[in-house]
Structures are given as structure tokens and as C-alpha cells.
Structure 1
């Protein structure tokens, strides 16, 4: 069944697929956003649904909502923006050279301001939150990162950077603000990995 691309079901399904892609391809200097949905189709297989959508640089995506995390298949046409390697390497070197572990709160602040040096930390949070969004989305949710409440760098003896984030997720459907904790590893050559995450009490 064809869906109207601008309507809620198509936009929400494409948002979950975008979250999966962003987690796999995003990082401190690359944030993937959904610009538009060009086409969407709903296939019902028993209790499973699979909208298909083409967005931005993503040629096609297939999302299968089921009892576990949504299953996403996608193909990419062209490049996903500029190659962030140089900026990623500079960020990596800067954080590795800090004498004291990085600690920050309230990104953005109550005025919506993000200090320039915190932009890569925020972008990394976007990619990591996209894992949580992808893994926890259902037909009755629509999550978005609202704010980083707290982020603390965890010193390691290997080449990875590790951050302990507490974030606030906004569910557009219920209008609920949900605290979530996540442990995030990142390396310029290996990308983002969420090693632990848990929904926190309000």
C-alpha cells in the first residue's frame, strides 16, 4: 500500500531507518538528518510492517517493525556528505591530549546555545542516541535527542575514546521526556559503538 510521504507513518518509519544509518555512519563531525521522504510503501506480513522510503542521499530503505529492534536494510547512492576524516582526527587528538577527563553538562543550555568546542561531543551523542532510537522504536514512539544532561570522559588504556552520557530523549508521540544513560566508545577508524545503555527513572 502506498503511503503519503509527508504523512506521519511514513515520516516516523523513515526517521527510525535514518537513526540506524546515522548510528552506522555518523560521528563527531558527521550528523545525518532526514530531509524528505520521496516515496513510502507499507507491506503487511502478518504482524510485521515494512515501509520503504527514499530520502536524501539514501536511495532506498526498508524498515521491518517486529518484536525485537526494527530491521533496516538500505543502499546509498553517492557520498553521505564530505569526508570528516581530518576533523575527526583533530577532535581525537584534542581529547586524547586533555590532562583532565572532559566533563560537561546541559548541552545545549537553557538558551539553546552549544559552545563550539562541544559540537563534536553533541554530534557523537546524536549518533549514539540513534542506536537507542533504532533499538527501542515501535509504531507508537517517535524519539529525538533533546539535551545532553551530563557527559564524562572515561580514561582508557587503549586507543578508544569513551564517554558516559546521560541524555534526555523526547518522545513526540507521548510528549514524554525520558532520561537515558549510555556508555559510548569512539575511534576515528572504527566509528561509534554503544556498549551499554539503560532507561533511567525520571
Structure 2
């Protein structure tokens, strides 16, 4: 088992073609599904994973599926382990952005947002992780009025490319932010 070989296991869920986090275990949905514990059980022991990174993954789940996926992650995370999660921000006040990230996406079946089932805001995402037993720290998010808030966060704990901090599209004006949280197992 991988968890017997490594003492500090860091996992990227739905890594796609990106490798923004060298040294992390990069997985695809077929290998490690948030809604199927079998893949987790085959690769990791309970309480063995230090960190999980999921960039634009949880919006492909309903709210209840998100809670269930978070509960599976909770089981495999160590005490004080965390999920760094980024999703599209439902409170970002930009019509083009909201049209792009909306449930079902903007159009063609091959658009990445076609399978979006929810557009979270900081309240729904926090609630979802809290229902699974996590303590939540907001890192980047928009409030109800669309005002952007950001805390200092360290990319060594997991790089989120689609962020104010790392996405060059956001260097001068915020055009494609993410709602980013750390959900911590206490």
C-alpha cells in the first residue's frame, strides 16, 4: 500500500493534465472517485493522508454528493489533515463568468462546465464541509456584495492555479477567481 511507503501523503483529486503540485500523488476520477470508497481503500489506510487538493472538482457533485465525498476524504485524512478545495465562486459579480460556470455550463456537451451540478458560494461550501465534520478556513472568496476577500496562503500547502494568487488572468483585474477553502480535520 502506498500509505505504508510514504509518511506524508498528499493527493490531487481530478488532476487533469496539470501538475502544479510536484511530489503530490496525481489522480483521475477513474482511479480515485470522491463518491466511491473502494479506490481509497485500495490505495490508502484510514487516517493516513496529509492533504487533498481538489481544484474545480466539487462543483461536479450535488450538495449532498459533496457532503458524502467530504466524509470519505475525512475518513482517510490524518488528524489536522486538510482538503484544499477550489470551486467557481457564485458570488463573483461578472455575468460572463457566471454564464461560463453555471449549472450545465454555457452550451456544448464537451464544455468543461457541462457537468456542473452546483455553483457554490462561501456559505454553501463551508456548510457542506462542516456537515462532514471539517473546520473551514476561507482563503479566497467573494461575499454577497461581490467584494473579493483573500487571506495569505502558502502554495507549498497546495497550489490552486485558478486563483488570484497564481492565475495570470487575475494579475491586474479579477476575471476568473475561485472560491478557495481549507477544510481541516480536527
Shared fold, TM over 0.5 = no
Specify which structure has the higher proportion of strand.
1
Structure (1 or 2) with the greater helix fraction:
2
Give the TM-score, by structure 2 length: 0.26
Query: What TM-score does the superposition give when structure 1 sets the normalisation length?
Result: 0.25
